[in-house]
Structure 1
């Protein structure tokens, strides 16, 4: 993985710092990892940052980069928190796949604060191309290499795997980000790419050509194949209504997760969690995609990276930390 220099963050954020008002000059400054503009994660990161800032006084700037950029920045304290898919985070934590050899082979150190909204994804095509199944993508142009965006690459490969296909069965189109993948479909440079339900770029595709999210296969063998690609993926049925979903459709899903660097001040973590616990009802008003970012899902056994000790203490105070959660925490720590 490329090294992330301190000047990288400074160059991105210096303009924001120079325009700080006197009222925020003394506020604690935090950097939150998100994804590029146009992605679902970017919209969600902005909403979470706004809510946290409103109820803590912290100034939070969203870094429009994927986990492949901000996970290394956890190590250098250049980033403090960030949302990512558990698929990508687990690879980075274990130094596997595209993160092979990361941090000297030890992987990037991080901890879970909370599990949030369910993200729903599949391969998306132009409706006017009349492609109705993943099997029909054989020998077609499919965006299945997202470079540093490992989570999107895994999503594409898992969707293909559900239908018994691999990257060798398609003409792989490489891109550098999730929005660029859908844009390649819009512009006719690809026949299919990963599409995230309710993302802004998916609506652009729908306006231009119509969007169709392809159904994944959900039989036992198919689920085994797709989870061999990404263990965090869970099949989920989506009712007709969202862009790209004309009828009830099975797609891939996972819970978007809020991660932190392990050495972030515990009081800061407590304040962040209190703000989101007490004010979760504000999130859907900012973006309806966070309607399922609810306290009763923050701590559950689907977690793939250990919880931060300060998060565990928070959940104990709220009375939601269970023996099952402790067993899962012990399993992850001893892995």
Structure 2
């Protein structure tokens, strides 16, 4: 009798969850942007879209884009509602790198959900180079993507772990993430940054060149201090899945951060942000096995105290899921306040008749940004 009652309660809970997801009322069509076709972010977005179609009859169009600017531009312009983005989300919020120029500035971005799975984030190196440690990349060719500070800064952070800088390697620029990994495949570069689950590195791994993922041993405190000075959003992570031999039986001490980050602007209507987030939570079982890394979107795996705030609509859904706390709300409020200060500083910068020259404009903005954050007692991070 007890077993029958328990099963009945489980069935009732599933029915309620399904009904709540239906009540989320997704629109007939949605548009997301993501990394290139074949990337783990793109594949996960497609898996989510299939669940939306199955459960809600909502068509999700996923637009692939090779760099951070290309992914965010349609969302900024209102042609897409959400980006399945990477750490470029953080750079855009901070108004640095490509986002420190006149057409951008600090962006008021908000998270909906992000993935934290068994995969890691690392520099993949062609095995035929003979390199087995990050410090061994001195003099090697490292791929960079034009307009993608997320990939580039992450790569530089990994080099810093090995005691190297951009001056110690040969930087090779490519037009997109996919083109960069094709460059490794075609022996135009020796190393590139990626998620260990991404399809492009897997192609290199199965090629004559082969692939080795660079480790970042968690006990190397000096290496981690150097890495986090360049990329403060990266944390130690035990990686158990991906190409080049990574598995639960062969775990590796590497690095990680939320990816993909399903994000929108703060102006996305609260009810729509809620509907998307609530549906992603409720429809989890429909897409969690649909792409490598999709399981990391599980609500209990959310890193709620990361460096970019959550949307009010997402917070409503996370509260309903029972994971949002007063402590997390305080952290989120502080992140929003940081965005408020950066937005105000940017407006003042534009009103100050800044120089037209691209580099002079960027330097003047960074100086104002630094002053604003220091006056508020906040970390500058990028100077």
Q: TM-score range by the shorter chain?
A: 0.7 to 0.9
**More displaced stretch, 49-58 vs 131-140:** 49-58
- Give the match for residue 182 of structure 1: 181
1:103 Cα deviation from its structure 2 partner = 4.3
Aligned to 1:82: 83
Match of 2:327 among 317, 324, 327: 324
**Distance in 1 (alpha carbons) for counterparts of 2:122 and 2:76:** 32
**Equivalence for 1:112:** 111
Give the superposition deviation at 1:94: 1.5
Classify 1:249/1:233 alpha carbon distance in 2 versus 1 (closer, same or farther; 3 Å): same
1:307 corresponds to 2:306: no
CA RMSD across the alignment: 2.1
- The answer (yes or no) to whether the contact 2:50–2:287 under 8 Å persists in 1 is no
Q: Assess, with a 3 A threshold, how the Cα gap between structure 1 residues 263 and 57 changes in structure 2: closer, same or farther.
A: farther
Q: Quote the offset at 1:62 in angstroms.
A: 0.4
Q: What is the CA–CA distance in structure 1 between the aligned matches of 2:102 and 2:317, rounded to whole Å?
A: 31
| Structure 2, unpaired ranges of 5+ | 1-26, 339-383
SS in 2 for 1:334: helix
Residue matched to 1:276: 280
C-alpha distance in structure 1 between counterparts of 2:63 and 2:40, whole Å: 14
Contact (CA 8 Å) 2:115, 2:302: kept in 1 or not?
Answer: yes
2:40–2:291 CA contact under 8 A, matched in 1: no
* Alignment partners' CA distance in 2, 1:57 and 1:289: 24
Bigger mean CA offset, 309-318 vs 204-213: 309-318
Q: Does 1:157 align with 2:156?
A: yes
Q: CA deviation at 1:70?
A: 3.1
Q: What's the TM-score, normalizing by structure 2?
A: 0.74
Larger radius of gyration: 2
Of 95-104 and 325-334, more deviation after overlay is shown by 95-104
- The answer to whether the 8 Å contact 1:198/1:242 transfers is yes
Instruction: Provide the residue aligned with 2:145 in structure 1.
Output: 146
Query: Retained in 2: the 8 A contact 1:301–1:324?
Result: no
CA 1:213–1:115: 2 relative to 1, 3 Å:
same
Partner of 1:264: 268
Question: SS state of the match for residue 258, structure 1?
Answer: strand
TM-score, normalization by structure 1: 0.84
Change (3 A) 1:215 1:298: closer
Structure 2 counterpart of 1:250 = 253
CA distance in 2 between partners of 1:57 and 1:298 (Å): 27
Shift in Å, 1:60? 1.5
Answer yes or no: is the 8 Å Cα contact 2:75–2:83 preserved in 1: no
Q: Please, which runs of 5 or more residues in structure 1 have no aligned partner?
A: 1-26
8 Å contact from structure 1 (residues 205, 211) kept in 2? yes
Task: State whether structure 2 residue 295 is matched by structure 1 residue 295.
Answer: no
Q: Is the 8 A contact 2:236 2:255 kept in 1?
A: yes
Return the alpha-carbon distance in structure 2 between the equivalents of residues 62 and 88 of structure 1: 18
In structure 2, what is the equivalent of residue 5 of structure 1?
A: none
Report how many aligned residue pairs link the two structures. Answer: 305
